[in-house]
Amino acid sequence: MGKATVVVGCAVAVAVGLAAAVVVRRRMKKEGKWGKAMGILKEFEEKCATPVAKLKQVADAMTVEMHAGLASEGKSPIWVFYLQHSDEEGVYYALDLGGTNFRVLRVQLGGKGVGLVNQEFTEASIPPNLMTGTSDALFEYIAAELAKFVAQEGPEYKLPPGRQRELGFTFSFPVMQTSITSGTLLRWTKGFSIDDVVGQDVVAQLSKAMQKLGLDMCVSALVNDTVGTLAGGRYNNKDVVAAVILGTGSNAAYVERAQAIPKWHGPSKSGDMVINMEWGNFRSSHLPLTDYDHAMDAEGLNPGDQIYEKMISGMYLGEIIRRVLLRMAVETAIFGDTVPPKLKEPFVLRTPDTSAMHHDASSDLKVVDNKLKEVLEISNTSLRVRKIIVELCNIVATRGARLAAAGILGVLKKMGRDTLKDGDQQKTVIAMDGGLYEHYTEFSKCLENTLEELLGEDVFKSIVIEHANDGSGIGAALLAASHSKYLEDQS
């Protein structure tokens, strides 16, 4: 080999060596970033852990809160009268306001032994600007939709002559109920924020709007969706003793003996009351809160409120995942050198999207890939990045579902239904509603498995979770019927 060849050979060797070094350095850097991303994931997973011992502490804290709430005035839970009749007759309406959609329902009750004869409903969405606008704008919009629906009432619905139409108003926000037909809004939840309703009687606001439109209808019952679900469930099955909503927001209601409520001084004909727990506002030092939860709470519309709801309900699961992904994007560039702008938008990642990603059974995680493109405008992700995303969905859904199961255990404890008494064959039926429970299979499966883990196999067999499809609308109409002003006239 000549001198020149040797020199060239050396130069090539040096160049190859340098290029290899660059590749190795890049790979190390990439691996370093990757390691960091995995570190963020691992840390998040650890902070979200919900071992059985912790869940039991959460359940106990929930039971303690329930006792405190029954004793002290001005504190949730909030009472309402219990459904006493099941033989009402006539046409009744229900209006269900509790999220971005609201429903209006019409039922014809056939009287003793006949039950529900006809029912119809319509659904409309609330324009986003009305969720943060004024009281008049919101209630007038709702009253107008209600009026349209009433105008379509067919001849099969029979309103006895001389009677005004009656409405069960399901208003699914925290209300201090002052009677069956009045209650003041304590605070908004689920993305609503209309200052001039807070502290006002919501029935008065709706009635004013109905009057303005000349809609001849009165509110006979103001109910929460949990209470409506419980009443609707109990109409069909007497073993229903509690209702849980797992949807955009979350809450539970259960049947309590009137004597067990120190702050209740009024009469109770049946001896039973329905307690609307407003469990979404529960908080405890045992809740596994992470920095992401704290930041979401602090930057949201209602900081400091609804802490439990923010860990378990549909409005928030996607947002928690978005926050973890954003941190990974900023600190570890998992989506490349620029942080995807969409990822910076609060609440852009909705729980139905994360649910779809979590349930992606394809080997190359095609659904995840599509959702990333469609919702976050991120393309060209590697399979391992997509796997991280599925893992994040799993962590957040598992924490939420297990904590929801702990809440149910707390309620069962308060009702003395967390153990079996000798020879006890009694079933405890929980009416369950809400899109999160209905559509997020991994979530509902995990909730039920966790409940079994907490209760043990035998007690778990005595618990039935019954999916109540729109139980709250029918329940509200039934409550309107059982609290009809015409019944009071007769008694």
Cα 398 to Cα 31, 347, 393, 404, 440, distances in angstroms: 28, 20, 8, 10, 11
Q: Give me the catalytic one of 76, 172, 207, 444.
A: 172
Please, which residue, 165 or 310, has the CB nearer to ligand BGC?
Answer: 310
Stretch that binds ligand BGC, among 222-230, 267-275, 347-355, 414-422 (CB under 6 A): 222-230
Tell me which stretch binds ligand BGC (CB under 6 A): 160-168, 170-178, 382-390, 473-481.
170-178
Q: How far is the CB of 309 from ligand BGC (least distance, A)?
A: 6
d(CA 382, CA 367): 13
- Residue 87 annotated as catalytic: no
Residue from 69, 183, 228, 280 in contact with ligand BGC (CB under 6 A): 280
Asked if 166 and 217 touch (Cβ cutoff 8 Å), the reply is yes
Q: Shortest approach of ligand BGC to residue 54 CB, angstroms?
A: 24
- Cβ pair 175, 78 in contact under 8 A: yes
Nearest to ligand BGC of 18, 347 (CB atom): 347
Q: Indicate which single residue of 251, 332, 450, 482 sits in contact with ligand BGC (rule: CB under 6 A).
A: 251
| Binding residue for ligand BGC, selected from 65, 145, 225, 293, defined by CB under 6 A | 225
Q: Which is nearer to ligand BGC, 140 or 305 (CB)?
A: 305
**Min dist. Cβ of residue 190 to ligand BGC (A):** 5
Contact (Cβ atoms closer than 8 angstroms) between residue 68 and residue 159: no
Piece of the chain touching ligand BGC by CB under 6 A; list 224-232, 234-242, 350-358, 419-427? 224-232
Q: Does 163 participate in catalysis according to the annotation?
A: no
**Does position 226 bind ligand BGC by CB under 6 A?**
yes
Closest distance of CB 311 from ligand BGC, Å: 13
Within residues 292-351, the interface with ligand BGC by CB under 6 A covers 309
Q: How far is the CB of 51 from ligand BGC (least distance, A)?
A: 27
**Residue in 190, 286, 371, 414 binding ligand BGC, rule: CB under 6 A:** 190
Report which of 134, 102, 142 is spatially closest to residue 121, judged by C-alpha positions: 102
Candidates 96, 225, 297, 369; catalytic one: 225
Report d(CA 383, CA 365) in Å as an integer: 7
Subset of residues 228 to 247 that bind ligand BGC, contact rule: CB under 6 A:
245, 247
Q: Is 96 in the site for ligand BGC (CB under 6 A)?
A: no
Contacts with ligand BGC in 468-487 (CB under 6 A)?
none
- Residue 460 Cβ, how far from ligand BGC at the closest point, in Å? 25
- Contact string 390-419 vs ligand BGC (x = CB under 6 A): ------------------------------
225 is catalytic: yes
Q: Which of 249, 314, 407, 471 binds ligand BGC (CB under 6 A)?
A: 249
Angle between helices 441-455 and 351-358 (to 10 degrees): 80
Total site size for ligand BGC, rule CB under 6 A: 17
Q: Write the CB contacts of 171 (distance below 8 Å, at least 6 apart in sequence).
A: 97, 98, 183, 202, 222, 223, 224
Which residue, 489, 369, 470, is CA-closest to 95? 470
* In the complex, least distance from residue 289 CB atom to ligand BGC, rounded to whole angstroms: 18
CB of 192 to ligand BGC, least distance (A): 9
Report, in angstroms and rounded to the nearest whole number, the Rg of the chain calculated over CA atoms.
Answer: 27
Which residue's CB is nearer to ligand BGC, number 217 or number 404?
Answer: 404
Residues that bind ligand BGC (CB under 6 A): 98, 172-174, 189-190, 224-226, 245, 247, 249-251, 278, 280, 309
* Catalytic residue annotation: 172, 187, 225
